[in-house]
Structure 1
């Protein structure tokens, strides 16, 4: 497809769901602004995405620092670029019982998953509503609907993302701007390595891991259709439907059994 002249900004675009989303935008002719911490990975990803015939601008930022989210917006404005689609994909978790995990790491995750997402949404949404067009895709998770023993902070951040997305979506519903939440389940990405979660029962069965390309496709289609949210995968849809009818304490116990280390099963 020919370059459509529009720009999509994707955070955490060098691997997993973010990379697959970048490919979908590129295939549809969107120019890309991609950001991640690793400059070498950004450059490699940029070269890969340019094969689609679109412009790719890599901007290295560490969104564990909320001030770098403001800096990312400033960099893009300074270049005179108009972002038509914002994808807040970057996110991370940490695995373990809350009384044993590192609080500084968790505060960093809160800054990445929540603060930087809020900053980027605020900045670009203001521009979008002023011109009465734009789309935002926020990576939530089925974790947003489930209490998460062994990942208490991560699940809580994703509950924030979902609630925030749905609230702001309602506020701007008459402006021509839409917000969509993508809610995948366990997906075959580097998330679990970064979260030190390899021992969890939840990731032991590779057959249960979703393909990030399938998750990205679900999110991309929902975004383009202007939907409020999408749960990716039939199994995850069923799990959420059942959990909605189950007491939270029971769901928390079930999640504890799913998430705890294999040697404790």
Structure 2
């Protein structure tokens, strides 16, 4: 695949952040869009924006943090007579704080969204790509995919899964001309920060607000989108968008696991305590 022109791309979590930026970029590159997220209002507004520029968009509202949601989305796409050339599994969320501060059902929803639904959508949409002899999947991981991150314990673990799954699927499907790539952005100025802290303590919310106020918001969603989509066409097996973020991928290669854990643990403990 060397172009997005005339391809149909499904973007999950398309209502805000990186997913929204990718939808806009893909439309500008000539792709037809299938957008999904929980917010119909936000999806409809994005669809109107894209259509206003001549793009083609289909909207399916689905909460992928719910069991069975991947199958429901797949059935809606098929019922509309659509196929998917590029699947972009962007939907996800995390929590920032002590492991015991959050309820098990919150973690269950995170695992459902970040792991189970992502896996389901790969399993559901990839066979048609194989049959067609072309297609691809972009799974949005995180710089946390490479490291254990205390105080973002479950989130970093789910993102490690995303990277491992993507690399293994890439190998399995290489001869089918179906490419799989993981994109592992670092801190991004998106809705993720708000989501990560919405059930956290006031201390954590204040810390995130301080980081944003100091301009420490990392990369923009637009930059992450552009670098990710370009890397996919270049057939890279993973990318860490943004300047300086690649260090997270290399730390485990130069430090022992114990030192990596101390590095990330000390860094995040400092943030949670301030």
**Fold agreement, TM-score > 0.5:** yes
Aligned pair partner of 2:240 in 231, 244, 248 = 231
Aligned pair partner of 1:222 in 191, 214, 231 = 231
Cα drift, residue 81 of structure 1: 0.6
Which residue is equivalent to 1:33? Answer: 34
Aligned pair partner of 2:257 in 213, 228, 248 = 248
User: 2:11 aligns to what SS in structure 1?
Assistant: strand
User: 1:206 aligns to what SS in structure 2?
Assistant: coil
User: 2:245 aligns to what SS in structure 1?
Assistant: helix
Which residue is equivalent to 2:87? Answer: 86
Deviations 1:134-172 (A, max 9, x none): 011000111010111111000000000000010011001
CA distance in structure 2 between the aligned counterparts of 1:37 and 1:175, rounded to whole angstroms: 33
Deviations 1:73-114 (A, max 9, x none): 011011111111110000000121112321110110000000
Q: What stretches of structure 2 of length at least 5 have no aligned partner?
A: 198-203
Which residue is equivalent to 1:104? Answer: 105
Cα drift, residue 179 of structure 1: 0.3
Contact 2:188 2:220 in 1 (8 A): yes
Which residue is equivalent to 2:164? Answer: 163
Which residue is equivalent to 2:221? Answer: 212
Q: TM-score, normalised by structure 2?
A: 0.91
- Pair 200,10 (structure 1): closer, same or farther in 2 beyond 3 Å: same
Which residue is equivalent to 2:176? Answer: 175
User: 2:175 aligns to what SS in structure 1?
Assistant: coil
Contact 1:184 1:231 in 2 (8 A): yes
Q: What stretches of structure 1 of length at least 5 have no aligned partner?
A: none
RMSD (CA atoms): 1.8
CA distance in structure 1 between the aligned counterparts of 2:259 and 2:206, rounded to whole angstroms: 23
CA distance in structure 2 between the aligned counterparts of 1:201 and 1:81, rounded to whole angstroms: 41
Q: Which moved more, 1:217-226 or 1:252-261?
A: 252-261
Q: TM-score, normalised by structure 1?
A: 0.94
- Pair 195,32 (structure 1): closer, same or farther in 2 beyond 3 Å: same
- The number of aligned residues is 263
Q: Which moved more, 1:197-206 or 1:160-169?
A: 197-206
